[in-house]
Chain A
Amino acid sequence: MSGVSLRAIFDAEFDWVCRTLRRLGVRQGDLEDAAQETFLAVAGRLAEYDPTRPLRPWLFGFAMRIAANHRRKKKDDPTDTADEAASTLASPEQEAELSQAKGLALRALEKIDDDRRAIFVMHDIEGFGAPEIAALLSIPANTVYSRLRVARAEFEGAVQRLTEKARR
């Protein structure tokens, strides 16, 4: 049983959920649907939330699943050409504009494999502890660290490449 109202969670965490979905690879155009799906999923499991536990890791699990569904749908749909990655075909001016609107970190996050990106987001952006991530994902803490190391290398590399590209 939970003493938390969905409305309270929505009011407090809607923006955070949206940011999280974006960081997990949901496109801006899909964000509204994904956010809605996330809160509907939360509604279905609200009774299981323990208010003595931190809320965000719990919400993150829902956002992660919804984001994975969106990424999968995008990959499975050959007619879906609205990929934001297509911005590489844009003019330098358009690309600069897109980059600025989107932010370096979001673009760099796209370069991290999906399984590692969630761990990177949880650890290095959200500040979740490795034990907490391990519990959320049902994986050993050492696996969290090993994936995180690779994710960090991918992120660092992407930041460097994107920064150099922007300077040219």
Chain B
Amino acid sequence: MSELDPLSDGARAAITDELRAPSGDPAMRARVAGRLEAALGAAFAVTAVTATASAAVPAAASSVAAKGTVALTHGKLAAIVAVAVTAGATAGVGVDRALNPRHEAAPVTSQSSVATPQPAPPSVSVPTPVESASAPAPSVAKPPASAPPVASAPADPVGDLARERALIDTARAGLKHGNPTAALDAVQRHAKSFPNGQLREEREGIRILALAALGRVDEAKGYDKKFRAAYPESLFRPQIDAALGTTP
């Protein structure tokens, strides 16, 4: 883990304003929906998409484009489909390389990659397992059956996220400056205010490291047991193992 100093008030205010900025252009939404529906047909409208149906989507879209039967913005469907399919093929793992081939980036081995094909979940018929409007938490999303409804945005996701971030930054700074007590205090405040917050993986990772730094190893191991179960692929793992002297 690395530590970051908190953002300045001015930068935070700018981000908060950006998050609060009105978003959404209903007319644009309707136009794009109409074009997607025309291009993709049933693949756009159906509730549950199977592997077969969705795999057929690019071909269907290309076919429509080739026939020129759908009028799209600036007549760009063919180009759009080509770009989109290419993007689909390269999105996710390796995106950074695509954007920045010069970088030294080495692939990580964590399985928390979100674009890598995953085994099918046991229940694929549950509709709309879309995350709520808040940014998703790392690594461990609730399964569809217990996922919040699409419209169930938190009361103040913007302020909550900013407050979460501030507490986690404080906790990180505590660890960085050799003050695990301060780190733990920030962690506890975060846990109290945001028990299921979006940054809970970071919180719990920092908690374990802070407890270990304070010599409260048994307590740290207790938390680590839960952490390991909840975030088996966490990138905190090596650091925690080193701090607790546990086997990876």
A interface, CB within 8 angstroms of B: 1-16, 18-19, 23, 31-33, 35-48, 50-58, 61-62, 64-66, 68-69, 103-106, 108, 114-115, 118, 124-132, 134-143, 145-146, 148-149, 152, 155-156, 159-160, 163
Chain B interface SS verdict (over half): loop
B interface, CB within 8 angstroms of A: 1-4, 7-8, 10-11, 14-15, 17-19, 21, 23-25, 28-29, 31-33, 35-36, 39-40, 43-51, 54-55, 57-58, 61, 72-74, 76, 80-81, 83-100, 103-108, 110-121, 123-131, 133-139, 141-144, 147, 150, 161, 164-165, 198-199, 201-202, 234-236
Measured CA separation A26–B89 after assembly (Å): 20
Further 10 A-B residue pairs, CB within 8 A, beyond A68-B99, A69-B83, A124-B165: A3-B124, A36-B36, A40-B58, A44-B85, A52-B141, A54-B114, A57-B114, A132-B138, A136-B95, A152-B4
Q: Indicate which residue in A15, A40, A114, A132 contacts B139 across the interface (CB closer than 8 Å).
A: A132
Chain A residues, Cβ within 8 Å of B125: 3
Q: Which 4 A-B pairs have the closest CB atoms?
A: A54-B136, A105-B18, A50-B118, A40-B84
Given the interface pairs A36-B36, A56-B135, A105-B14, the reply to whether A43 lies near B120 with Cβ below 8 Å is no
Contact A141 B235 (CB under 8 A): yes
With CB as the reference atom, state the residue of chain B lying closest to A57.
B114
Chain A nearest CB from B129 CB (Å) reads 4
Contact B24 A105 (CB under 8 A): no
Chain B residues, Cβ within 8 Å of A105: 14-15, 17-18
Q: Indicate which residue in B45, B108, B126 contacts A140 across the interface (CB closer than 8 Å).
A: B108
Measured CA separation A42–B92 after assembly (Å): 11
Q: Indicate which residue in A2, A40, A146 contacts B36 across the interface (CB closer than 8 Å).
A: A40
Chain B nearest CB from A1 CB (Å) reads 4
Chain A nearest CB from B52 CB (Å) reads 8
Chain B residues, Cβ within 8 Å of A37: 80, 83-84, 87
With CB as the reference atom, state the residue of chain B lying closest to A118.
B99
Chain A residues, Cβ within 8 Å of B90: 65
With CB as the reference atom, state the residue of chain B lying closest to A139.
B105
Contact B54 A47 (CB under 8 A): yes
With CB as the reference atom, state the residue of chain A lying closest to B57.
A43
